[in-house]
Structure 1
Amino acid sequence: MASSTVRSGAERDVQAAEVAGRLLDSAQQLSYDPLSEVDWDTPLDEDFHGASPEWSTLYGTSYWAELTEAQRKELTRQEAASVASTGIWFEMILQQLILRDVYAKDPTDETVQWALTEIADECRHSIMFARGAKKLRAPAYRPHRVAVELGRAFKTLAFGEAAYAAILVAEEVLDVMQRDWMRDERVVPFVRTINNIHVVEESRHMKFAREETRRHLAKAGRVRRRIHAFVIAVAAYVIVTSMVNKAVYANAGLDAKRAIAEARGNEHHKAMLRSSCAGLMEFLASAGLLTRPALAFYKRAHLI
């Protein structure tokens, strides 16, 4: 039994190295430099949205029906900037999680080299998101202080499948909405370019996160699996509920109190989130990570 366990563990390591090698080849063939790929010089065209209107937190509400087209476009620009700011926050957490995971490991190993490549991608993405938010004329939206402190604890303590599955959650939710935005001709062109870059490069990150989640889960016992299932769900809840800062409404010139109330009860937006996470929930279920306590948080975040 012991030799079988060792052998299966060695096989998983070989498989991980093979996946990492393919991802390294893909990165070499198709990667972007946002500083040169994105049109940073053309002034913001206010005739465009910042995101697909259907992804706005107010789309489908009575308040949305009352807004002028100019107000709707400004709101989606502020919301897109808030999503970008949340992305920067989590990418900083992600980079620290990966660095801790590969610390003192063999740098000649393909998995370590891919991890460093992913960190380099995330650094570029964070700068790209920051410049994009600035061009959208938005302030630096930051998560609530509680979320920031929870993130600080998570990046320090999370390991194994908890770290990689949480990375996957953040990337999967962004991936679906950004695929819509990058194809939508109503969205300002430079934002479409940013989303295209992120979707292409994050597809490799998601592949790696899935493989690493499976690999770490193979070594996890029942108690650890249940604890990490709960931790991942809490992380998902904090990430998703932090995406659109409540300050976007006032910054878009709206009645913030009314906007927050209508956004909170917006069934259309909740349905969009659930739809975007269908594949993610299927993966988590197949990995045994949809325990009853975890499901409670996914439901609160409207991910299932």
Structure 2
Amino acid sequence: MIEQDYRDMLQTLSEGSVHRRFDPYLDIDWDAPEMRMDPKDPRWVLSEHTDPLGAHPWYRALPLERRIDIGRWRMANVQKVGLSFESVLIRGMLQYVMRLPNDSAEFRYCLHEMTEECNHIQMFQEFVNRTGADVPGMRALYRNTMATWSLFAKWPVVFFIGILAGEEPIDHIQKNLIREGKDCPPAMLRVMEIHIAEEARHISFAHRFLREHVARLGRIERGITSIVYPLVMRWLGGAIVVPPPEFAKRFDIPREVMREAFWKAPKSRAMLRECFNDVRMLADQLELMNPVSRAVWRWCGIDGPSSRFRGEPHRPARNAA
């Protein structure tokens, strides 16, 4: 039985999706002169504060033209990864809601979210197309198994942990770029603004969904979930953030540079941990932190302090050695 305050929250989120929504072809003037994506635009250069490769000395020592080419490809590929993940979310969420009873508040909100994610897929693909970069998205292992991920919707808690594992890193990186004040191509900035605005609803729902559903788990199920939680976060976080081998091959990036950037260097490890500050906070709230699960967080390299509140700015990666 869904508690009334949960129903009220779902109603609020659903109304927000009706009255505060975006359309990728109405709210982005793709053909405006300022939205043209110039392949030589220096604003494609990766941020040394937000991007693990952008922080690496090898990248920072490259000629400007080379840094621009690498940055444009990487930014396009991040969008391609994002749209692939959104497609998994839609498929799995659709399987979940088809088993819900009539008059379900979750059913209505999930359909709103899926509609917004369809818009995000169009928005991301339009962005990729206009960069002129023919990017593959996720690494081959993930691309080839993606169609099976939605099957985890049979276990809603695990599936929604996976949703957060994909949504939180992208949302965190985009927010940090905007907070940093990095000068981005206008089309990229507008895409991030729209995505952040609507992901606020999606992430709020996923957090509350897990609070409602984890509370119903028995002791053994909760113990298993506490271990699965960081494993899923690390696995899908890597799928979202780490570029495919085609990237290093195309730009002759040394293997050691890629290893250090993802995730051997202290600064890049700090960036990785920071992506999961909010989901560690949620794990604390769900009482999923215990001696065993904490060891798994450490083993995955994503342990650390939790956020005090969702979306709290954190900047330790800038000061890491």
Whether these two folds match at TM > 0.5 is yes
1:131 to 120, 126, 131: 126
Contact 1:56 1:76 in 2 (8 A): no
Q: 2:145 aligned with 1:154, yes or no?
A: no
- Please name the residue that 1:215 is paired with: 212
The whole-number CA distance in structure 2 between the counterparts of 1:233 and 1:192 is 31
Contact 1:83 1:244 in 2 (8 A): no
What are the equivalent positions in structure 2 for 1:246-261 lying under 5 Å apart? 246-251=245-250, 253-261=251-259
Contact 1:230 1:291 in 2 (8 A): no
- Please name the residue that 2:234 is paired with: 237
How many Å apart are 1:234 and its aligned residue?
Answer: 2.8
CA displacement, residues 74-95 of structure 1 (integer Å, 9 cap, x when unaligned): 2222222222222122212211
- Please name the residue that 1:76 is paired with: 71
The whole-number CA distance in structure 2 between the counterparts of 1:182 and 1:125 is 19
Q: Which has the higher contact order (CA 8 A, sep 6+)?
A: 1
- Please name the residue that 2:117 is paired with: 122
Q: Which amino acid aligns with 1:165?
A: I
Contact 1:273 1:303 in 2 (8 A): yes
| Bigger shift: residues 16-25 or 105-114 | 105-114
- Please name the residue that 2:165 is paired with: 169
The whole-number CA distance in structure 2 between the counterparts of 1:75 and 1:139 is 13
How many Å apart are 1:13 and its aligned residue?
Answer: 3.5
Q: 2:24 aligned with 1:22, yes or no?
A: no
How many residue pairs were aligned? Answer: 293
What are the equivalent positions in structure 2 for 1:52-63 lying under 5 Å apart? 52-63=47-58
How many Å apart are 1:195 and its aligned residue?
Answer: 0.5
The whole-number CA distance in structure 2 between the counterparts of 1:75 and 1:293 is 40
Contact 2:152 2:159 in 1 (8 A): no
How many Å apart are 1:258 and its aligned residue?
Answer: 4.5
How many Å apart are 1:120 and its aligned residue?
Answer: 0.5
| Bigger shift: residues 42-51 or 191-200 | 42-51
TM-score, length of structure 1 as denominator length: 0.85
Contact 1:178 1:195 in 2 (8 A): yes
How many Å apart are 1:57 and its aligned residue?
Answer: 2.3
Unaligned runs of 5+ in 1: 1-9
How many Å apart are 1:30 and its aligned residue?
Answer: 1.5
The whole-number CA distance in structure 1 between the counterparts of 2:228 and 2:144 is 15
Q: Which amino acid aligns with 1:177?
A: I
Contact 1:85 1:133 in 2 (8 A): yes
How many Å apart are 1:198 and its aligned residue?
Answer: 0.5
SS at match of 2:242: coil
1:202 to 189, 194, 199: 199
- Please name the residue that 1:270 is paired with: 269
The whole-number CA distance in structure 1 between the counterparts of 2:123 and 2:231 is 28
Compared CA separation, residues 74 and 25, structure 1 to 2 (3 A): same
Identical aligned residues as a percent: 21
CA displacement, residues 169-208 of structure 1 (integer Å, 9 cap, x when unaligned): 3212111111123453421110110011000000000111
The whole-number CA distance in structure 2 between the counterparts of 1:234 and 1:92 is 22
How many Å apart are 1:18 and its aligned residue?
Answer: 0.9
Contact 1:182 1:191 in 2 (8 A): no
Compared CA separation, residues 101 and 13, structure 1 to 2 (3 A): farther
Q: 2:183 aligned with 1:186, yes or no?
A: yes
Q: CA RMSD in A?
A: 2.4
CA displacement, residues 90-144 of structure 1 (integer Å, 9 cap, x when unaligned): 2122112211221143454332111100000111111111121222232232333
SS at match of 2:26: helix
- Please name the residue that 1:287 is paired with: 286
How many Å apart are 1:267 and its aligned residue?
Answer: 2.1
How many Å apart are 1:49 and its aligned residue?
Answer: 1.8
The whole-number CA distance in structure 2 between the counterparts of 1:152 and 1:291 is 33
CA displacement, residues 229-286 of structure 1 (integer Å, 9 cap, x when unaligned): 33333322222212232322343x3434343233232322221222232122111122
| Bigger shift: residues 275-284 or 70-79 | 70-79
Q: Which amino acid aligns with 1:102?
A: V
| Bigger shift: residues 160-169 or 230-239 | 230-239
1:64 to 59, 62, 82: 59
Contact 2:80 2:136 in 1 (8 A): yes
Q: 2:21 aligned with 1:31, yes or no?
A: yes
Contact 1:168 1:206 in 2 (8 A): yes
